[in-house]
Amino acid sequence: MAGVYFHIPFCRQACTYCDFHFSVNLSNISEVIEAMQSEIHQRNKYLPESSNIESIYFGGGTPSIVDVKHIEGLIESISKQYSLADRCEITLEGNPDDLTLAKLKELSSIGINRLSIGMQSIDNITLNFMNRSHDASQSIQSVRNAFDAGINNISVDLIYGVPDRSTSQWESELKEVLKLPVTHLSAYSLTVEDKTVLGKMVKEKTVVMPEDEFISKQFHILNTLASEYGFEHYEISNLAKPGYHSVHNSNYWNAIPYIGIGPGAHSFDGSSRSWNVKSNKAYTQKVSKGSGFNTTEYLTKDQIFNEYIMTHLRIAHGVDLEFVKTILNENELRKFNNIIDEVVIAGYASIQENYFKLSIDGWLICDTISVKLFK
């Protein structure tokens, strides 16, 4: 089992909150895609030859702004290198304003079978605040187009905890979205990152982020409402109808190896993590030289354990206490058990069939609990 991630580092404009790697200079798309093709070739030993590719994910940036032929080329190269699983999940992230019926039909024809739509909101004031390039009607239309184009596995991104957006508004937007033919939701609370426009606004106090209680309430609404519509809240920020959990993302949390291609993309081979240089220019130059575009970090046993805790507290399935027993020594295990007992007593978690699972309120303070349980 393995996955492939393609980072398409281009956007029409910068969203207020985003600190991902991208460029708004669209003139050198071909060059970067060419370098990515070369990277696939150069790193053909990264995953074992026998790897069966279960998922391919085009993320960004905004993959929907590049020509479909580029996407097709990248899929082809991967399928030459490895064998693709029968029901390989091939996801493409797209912005509503790019997702015309014609484009979606093309994407479907080259094998894209899952769409992740960067909807974020269906309220124009909110979209404007976020500096998104689409409006509310495009948001809704894009889902319908995808469905009509025959892509029936549709995920939408939503953001809650937005300043000046009331909880009742979040609730009504969420209801609208859940009525659409979507199979998956990725919902995030708006996070303030340092080097973003939002970060600057918060620092300068032109924007005040909402209180914890407000965000907590919206998170609860997300959980309750989505389950009313038949969604499973299977990870803190991922919800899906039965059978539609994201294969690609689930593999991240289950430490399945993946190769990340493109500027700023991360890879994981089971024991080390590596990442490509973030600048498009440096990336293309270094790839053409054939070296120096990639940095590697070898994980220690403690780090592997910490990553396990961090990712498994986030998933509904929870932390396997049998597995924890095999890792910790007697003293560490005693401390670990004391902490989980405390967390359970405080009402933030439960233990079911030897799995330690956080409750909704526990998820809200997942980082704090992770830190307590880290080695």
Chain residues binding another protein by CB under 8 A are: 5, 186, 188-189, 191, 212-213, 215-216, 219, 236-237, 249, 252-253, 258, 260, 264-268, 273, 275, 297, 303, 306-307, 310-311, 314, 346, 348, 363-368, 370-372, 374
Query: Of 187 and 201, which CB lies nearer to another protein in the complex structure?
Result: 187
CB of 278 to another protein, least distance (A): 10
Report yes or no: 273 and 262 within 8 Å, Cβ to Cβ.
no
> Which CB atom, from 64 or from 186, has the smaller least distance to another protein?
186
Residue 237 Cβ, how far from another protein at the closest point, in Å? 5
3-state secondary structure of 288: helix
Q: How many CB atoms lie within 10 A of CB 91?
A: 24
State which residue, 63 or 140, has the beta carbon closest to another protein: 63
Q: Are 78 and 54 in contact (CB under 8 A)?
A: no
The residues near 236 (Cβ < 8 Å, ≥ 6 apart) are 314, 363, 366
CB of 226 to another protein, least distance (A): 15
Per DSSP bridges, beta strands 349-352 and 355-358 are: antiparallel
Closer CB to another protein, 244 or 252, in the complex: 252
Rounded to an integer, what distance in angstroms lies between the CA atom of residue 156 and that of residue 119?
A: 6
> CB 310 → another protein: shortest distance, Å?
6
Measured from the CB of residue 101, what is the shortest distance to another protein in angstroms?
A: 29
Here the tokens at position 282 are 């440096």
Task: Provide, rounded to whole angstroms, the least separation between the CB of residue 69 and another protein.
Answer: 26
Closest C-alpha among 145, 231, 153 to residue 187: 231
- Of the pair 104, 262, the CB lying nearest another protein is at 262
Comparing CB distances to another protein, the nearer of 178 and 366 is 366
Minimum CB distance to another protein, residue 149 (Å): 26
Q: Are 199 and 193 in contact, with CB atoms under 8 Å apart?
A: yes
What lies within 8 Å, CB to CB, of 144 at 6+ separation is 180, 181
Residues 6+ apart with CB under 8 A from 13: 24, 131, 133
Q: Decide whether 108 or 306 has the Cβ nearer to another protein.
A: 306
Element spanning 283, H or E: helix 280-289
